[in-house]
Amino acid sequence: LCPQMNLLLREYLLSGEVSEAEHCLRELEVPHFHHELVYEAVVMVLEGSGEGPVAMMVTLLKVLWETGLVTLDQMNRGFQRVYEELGDISLDVPLAHSLLERLVELCFDRGIITKALRDACPAR
């Protein structure tokens, strides 16, 4: 399942087609695993480079949130897992903390995540 979600996200970053990504996610027919997509999306942003992927993932998460494909619980679970694993991720990606802070702020500003989730973001 993870490879499929990973591929879906990679294709989205290449094409920028939100509707196609949304369609692919629906086709997987695993709504109870959508927190996995949130997790993969955030990790992909942390492991990527530049502002492009950050803005694009925020846009995708916003659409998935607004269409109800990703629930509040799933959004929280996806981000919480990244928070928990940030120490490990930082070993490979020294800038992970600042990228995560930026992503979390953008998601909060766009109304994708709650204040509680934003405030739970690990500080350096």
E strands within 13-124?
A: none
Take residue 81 and report the two structure tokens written for it. Answer: 């897992």
* pLDDT score, position 39: 96
Q: Which of 1, 118, 112 is nearest to 57 (CA)?
A: 112
- Averaged pLDDT, 74-94: 96
Q: Is the pLDDT assigned to residue 92 strictly greater than 80?
A: yes
* pLDDT score, position 109: 97
* pLDDT score, position 37: 95
List, in order of start, the domains of the chain with CATH numbers. 1-120 (1.25.40.180)
- Averaged pLDDT, 60-65: 96
In tens, the pLDDT along 11-59 reads 999 999 999 999 999 999 998 999 999 999 999 999 886 667 889 999 9
Query: What's the rounded Cα separation, in Å, for the pair 98 and 45?
Result: 11
Query: What's the rounded Cα separation, in Å, for the pair 88 and 103?
Result: 18
In tens, the pLDDT along 94-110 reads 999 999 999 999 999 99
Which pLDDT band holds residue 117 (cuts at 50, 70, 90)?
A: very high
